[in-house]
């Protein structure tokens, strides 16, 4: 693995480089889709800035409050040392969703249309971001003897010299498959999927399903389990249920239009 990339001014963390790339490409894609679908670009910029800020705070808070509260209670200043890592995707996702609803209440917009605009870039960005996890060695899997097991070097964040499930690659491949499905649905949409919000609802189902399955192969510490399942697994179930609910109520989405 390559947790650091050489640079004239010092090594660059591969994780942050890939995460920055995923954010940049996803944002550019969102703007392109917004323009194509006639969504106000100034509103798009305001929404994205709000969601990114809320997502950053939510991802950090989830790590601090749930996954490792003991460490941060004894080292409170470390809460602000975000460059050392410690972010949880679902925490950021929940933070962004809350911010979107608050934004909608303050400045109403076509909520479901916007979710469909970001669905495909969101899937792409998440998948690409998992490659950053792979190079850093975080979010690693349990020990396995499968032929495709990955052995990380001593300088990565994962246990070294132990064959592990490459869960980061599982996430990447699943999300790329989900991305392909979403693009096919959008380009060949039936009447069912043409209703605003349906594309986003489908992404929620696909993402939640993949996350719930792959979570069972994770080996890294992610906080205490609840009924022998990680909190991320339970959140995945709720994400799937939300996606099903959106699809089931696709004829009543005018509430958020």
SS (H, E, C) 92-155: HHHHHHHHHHHHHHHCCCCHHHHHHHHHHHHHHHHHHHHHHHHHHCCCCECECCCCCCECECCC
DSSP output for 153-208 = -TTSSSPBTS-B--HHHHHHHHHHHHHHHHHHHHHT--TGGGSTTHHHHHHHHHHH
pLDDT band at residue 113 under the 50/70/90 scheme: very high
Q: Is the pLDDT of residue 7 over 80?
A: no
In a domain, residue 200? The reply is yes
SS3 13: strand
Q: Is the pLDDT of residue 109 over 90?
A: yes
Residue 11: predicted pLDDT: 66
Quote the percentage of the chain above a pLDDT of 90: 60
As a whole number of angstroms, the distance between CA 181 and CA 207 comes to 11
Q: Is the pLDDT of residue 4 over 80?
A: no
DSSP classification of residue 68? S
pTM of the complete model beyond 0.75:
yes
Residue 120: predicted pLDDT: 96
- A 10 A CB-CB count for 213 gives 13
Distances (CA, A) of 27 to 41, 94, 113: 12, 19, 16
* pLDDT tens-digit readout, 198-234: 999 999 999 999 999 999 999 998 878 889 999 999 9
Residue 221: predicted pLDDT: 84
Residues making up the chain, counted from first to last: 257
* pLDDT tens-digit readout, 53-91: 999 999 888 888 887 788 888 888 888 877 666 788 899
Cβ-based neighbours of 155, under 8 Å, separated by 6 or more: 3
pLDDT band at residue 255 under the 50/70/90 scheme: very low
In a domain, residue 169? The reply is yes
pLDDT band at residue 183 under the 50/70/90 scheme: very high
Residue numbers of the domain that contains 256? 117-139+161-257
Residue among 196, 195, 182, 144 nearest 166 (CA):
144
- Share the mean pLDDT of the chain: 88
In a domain, residue 124? The reply is yes
In a domain, residue 175? The reply is yes
Give how many domains the chain has, as a whole number.
1
Tell me the mean pLDDT in the region 169-173. 97
* pLDDT tens-digit readout, 27-37: 999 999 999 99
In a domain, residue 41? The reply is no
Looking at the DSSP assignment, which residues form a beta bridge with residue 150?
Answer: 164
Least confident of 13-27, 182-196, 243-257: 243-257
Q: Residues 247, 47, 235, 72: what is their CA dihedral angle, to the nearest 10 degrees?
A: 180
Helix axes 231-248, 198-214, angle to 10 degrees: 160
């Amino acid at each position: 693995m390559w947790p650091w990339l050489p640079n004239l001014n010092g090594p660059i963390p591969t994780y942050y480089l890939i995460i920055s790339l995923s954010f940049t490409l996803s944002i550019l894609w969102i703007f392109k889709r917004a323009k194509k679908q006639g969504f106000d670009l100034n509103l798009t910029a305001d929404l994205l800035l709000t969601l990114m800020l809320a997502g950053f705070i939510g991802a950090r808070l989830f790590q601090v409050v749930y996954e490792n509260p003991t460490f941060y209670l004894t080292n409170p200043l470390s809460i602000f040392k975000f460059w050392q890592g410690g972010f949880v995707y679902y925490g950021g996702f929940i933070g962004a969703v809350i911010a979107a609803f608050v934004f909608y209440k303050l400045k109403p917009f076509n909520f479901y249309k916007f979710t469909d605009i970001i669905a495909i870039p969101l899937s792409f960005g998440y998948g690409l971001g998992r490659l950053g996890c792979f190079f850093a060695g975080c979010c690693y899997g349990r020990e396995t003897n499968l032929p495709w097991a990955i052995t990380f070097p001593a300088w990565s964040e994962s246990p070294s010299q132990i064959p592990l499930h490459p869960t980061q690659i599982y996430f990447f491949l699943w999300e790329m498959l989900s991305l392909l499905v979403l693009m096919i649905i959008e380009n060949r949409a039936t009447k069912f999927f043409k209703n605003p919000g349906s594309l986003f609802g489908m992404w929620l189902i696909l993402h939640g399903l993949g996350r719930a399955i792959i979570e069972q192969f994770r080996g890294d510490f992610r906080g205490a389990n609840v009924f022998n399942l990680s909190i991320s697994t339970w959140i995945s179930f709720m994400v799937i249920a939300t996606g099903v609910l959106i699809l089931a109520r696709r004829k009543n989405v005018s509430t958020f239009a």
